[in-house]
Amino acid sequence: MSELLLDAYYDLTQVGEVAVSPDGERAAFTTTEYDPDADESVASLFVAPTDGSRDPHRLTRVSGASSPTWSPDGDRLAFLASRDEDNDLRVGREAEDEEDEEEEEEEADANGGNGDEEPKSQVWAFDLALGGDAAQITDFEEGVREFDWAPDGERLVVTARDPTDAESEYLEERRDGGPVETERVQHKLDGVGYLDTVTSYLFVVGEDAVLGDDAADADSARKLEDAYGRGAFEGLSGLQPDWGAGGEIAFVSYRGDDPDSTLVTDVFTVPPEGGDATAITDGDLTCNTPTWSPDGERLAFSAGDDTNWCIPTEARVWDGDEHVPVTGDLDRTLARGSSFEWVDDGTFYTLVGDEARTRILECDAAAADWERTFEAQGDDRAVSGLSIDGDTAALGLSHPSEGHDPYALPVDDLAADEEPDSLTRLAELNDDLTDEYEMPEVRRVTFENDGWELSGVLYNPPDYEPGESDPAPTVCAIHGGPVSYDEPVFDFTHAAFTSRGYLVFRPNYRGGSSFGRKFCETLHGQWGTVEASDIAAGVEDLVDRGWTDPDRVFGHGFSYGGIAQGYLVTQYPDLFTAAAPEHGIYDLRSAYGTDDSHIWMENEYGYPWENQDAIDASSAINDIGNVETPLLVAAGGEDWRCPPSQSEQLYVAAQQAGAECRLVVYGDEHHNVGDPDRAIHRLEEITSWYRRHDPEVTDPDAEDPHGRESEE
């Protein structure tokens, strides 16, 4: 097989959310594909039978399609989307003649297309019993962010911003290029932009709109005046409404005096007719994802510490009188994006990060107890997303060489120790890539440092034999967070590296999650210490094994993975042959107030003027005089999590300290990889940088920017 061409990224399909129908017979799931002409991602919504008897049926391709949610009777499938029309965008690189393209453009223009102003996200729904196109359910001025069905299937609760006349006038001025005007401490959020004072509320959408007769807006829907959003990160997290069988709607918000200076969020309930909201937590937790049991008597939710993110986030259950921890003695944090999937009135399943593996827990709500399950997952697959309804569970499974796809199986078979015959793969979304190109093999490795037994994930080319093959060039890829972890996954970037002969080493350093509070807390308030030591020790272990060539080790990492590289190149100047820190922070003092994370800084370090020594000790910029490693520094021009000024400081300082450097800034990108052209350009830059500084590469220009070998 040939090495993975970088522009094959256009052919990549990424799985999003999965949702099982109430009878368990169908699963809806979203994917992200890529349109090379428009240079944009395209979200698609599919439905497949959970027994695998038919291929998935594509319902729609629309911008930002998300949140597939079945009606209680299973006849309708609602989702969020932000396009006025379901244009049949092409994805991948299949040929299409110019006449067809012109016809599509003319049709899009006739239907409004994107116009000068992007359409807002609204609720749409397919009637799968009657067939036909999706009907638009809502038409709110500022769009809809989230929703849930009423138990009767005749109403919806939605979250929508509701600007006053003065706020609408200000927003219009902003859209026309007017200034940002604010008195908020939390004045911006990454991916959202500069914030305003517009309040989000819960609205109940009535039967006429749900049936598609007349889309609901703020005037026709019932506004629940006491169910409003508030809090520093409410612009990202939302109100998360869940409408229970008992009639009450649960949601999260904040009611204290300092909404922009705390991470506290409480769980509330409110009747759908309106009236006062009732708090069921008491202002000292970060709560998310409230989910009612089938009978509406219990409410599960996640609860994290509001000041210390090293304390594991746990599952709690409210029984109408009090809320009690269910996973409190597990010492493992709930996985990011985990949900609560009730199978009866006393039992739910959820996802937890457990020793660098996302795995499924079965939880007894009445006994406040838990049990690890689904051993059939194995050690080389990651679970992403879980949905349970009827007697069926659907989940995403990601395997480095097999792809990332939706699967289904009976709930009872989650207890299987070995893979059951009932585990059904609903789609093979990336079989073109996995069949045509070499995908990596994977193994877990362990090593020791400072008396700790540590682990990591190692990806290698299929023809590489650890201990038998010659030492190989190695990319040390560092996860973000730092409160996170690495496990084996299907990843285009990993395959791009391994198909070019690199090993990819992903160390699970101290300060990450999934190994308990003590493991995580060793880094708290002292960045640039134990994690740098652990990463260096992991690389040295691979060198000692004879697997890694010590003269060909390359740094790689995004967000905290970029931050960690700043520590590594200043503290261990001989570790990396070249490094590529992306979207990082290198001067904690100047990051304060220019990023969107002042609360995290205050919780971990205190104010910059009160704890200057610790903050400066964690700022790699202060040791930049030690740097010798060639640095490829990348940033997003509108990244408010790790502002571009941080990367510019590192770049200029390292240049002046004598290191060879290159700076790449993606002008309107925030804290992510971005559109496909940028994702490809990113890999072009990184692979080119590594080749340029690889002592074994005699002609760094022998590979063109698209990853194709030169014919000269």
Task: Provide the pLDDT for residue 100.
Answer: 45
Q: Indicate whether 388 belongs to any domain.
A: no
Name the strand (E) or helix (H) holding 396: strand 392-399
Q: Which residue has the tokens 């210490």?
A: 529
pLDDT at 680 exceeding the cut of 50:
yes
pLDDT at 314 exceeding the cut of 90:
yes
CATH of the domain at 553: 3.40.50.1820
Q: In this predicted model, what pLDDT tens digit does every residue of 351-396 receive, in sequence order?
A: 999 999 999 999 999 999 999 999 999 999 999 999 999 999 999 9
Query: Which amino acid is residue 625, in one-letter code?
Result: G
Average pLDDT across the chain, whole number: 92
* Mean pLDDT value of segment 645-667: 97
Distances (CA, A) of 492 to 2, 253, 431, 584, 688: 15, 37, 13, 22, 17
Taking the C-alpha atoms of residue 473 and residue 697, their distance in angstroms, rounded to an integer, is 11
Q: In this predicted model, what pLDDT tens digit does every residue of 34-93 receive, in sequence order?
A: 988 888 888 999 999 999 999 999 998 777 789 999 999 999 999 999 865 544 444 455
Which three-class secondary structure state does DSSP give residue 307? coil
Pairing verdict, β 57-62 and 40-49: antiparallel
Q: In this predicted model, what pLDDT tens digit does every residue of 138-186 receive, in sequence order?
A: 999 999 999 999 999 999 999 999 999 999 999 999 999 999 999 999 9
Q: Indicate whether 636 belongs to any domain.
A: yes
Task: Provide the pLDDT for residue 1.
Answer: 53
DSSP assignment string, 258-320? -GGG---BEEEEE-TT----EESS-SSEEEEEEEE-TTSS-EEEEEEESS-TTSPPEEEEE-S
More confident of the two residues 89 and 29: 29
Q: In this predicted model, what pLDDT tens digit does every residue of 176-202 receive, in sequence order?
A: 999 999 999 999 999 999 999 999 999
Taking the C-alpha atoms of residue 690 and residue 673, their distance in angstroms, rounded to an integer, is 19
Q: Indicate whether 417 belongs to any domain.
A: no
Q: Indicate whether 458 belongs to any domain.
A: yes
Q: Indicate whether 451 belongs to any domain.
A: yes
* Mean pLDDT value of segment 298-327: 96
Task: Provide the pLDDT for residue 712.
Answer: 34
Task: Provide the pLDDT for residue 703.
Answer: 58
Give the structural domain span for 531. Answer: 440-693
Q: Indicate whether 290 belongs to any domain.
A: no
More confident of the two residues 286 and 699: 286
Taking the C-alpha atoms of residue 627 and residue 620, their distance in angstroms, rounded to an integer, is 10
Task: Provide the pLDDT for residue 93.
Answer: 53
Q: Indicate whether 594 belongs to any domain.
A: yes
Q: Indicate whether 532 belongs to any domain.
A: yes
Q: In this predicted model, what pLDDT tens digit does every residue of 484-517 receive, in sequence order?
A: 999 999 999 999 999 999 999 999 999 999 999 9
C-beta separation of 640 from 584 below 8 A: no
Task: Provide the pLDDT for residue 111.
Answer: 35
Task: Provide the pLDDT for residue 333.
Answer: 96
* Mean pLDDT value of segment 665-675: 92
Q: What is the pTM of this model?
A: 0.93
DSSP H stretches of helix in 390-458: 431-436
What residues are paired with 365 via a beta bridge? none
Confidence band (pLDDT; 50, 70, 90) for 101?
very low
* Mean pLDDT value of segment 256-271: 97
For the ranges 1-15, 79-93, 96-110, 675-689, the maximum mean pLDDT occurs at: 675-689
Task: Provide the pLDDT for residue 92.
Answer: 55
Domain count, the chain: 1
Q: How far is CA 679 from the centre of its chain?
A: 16
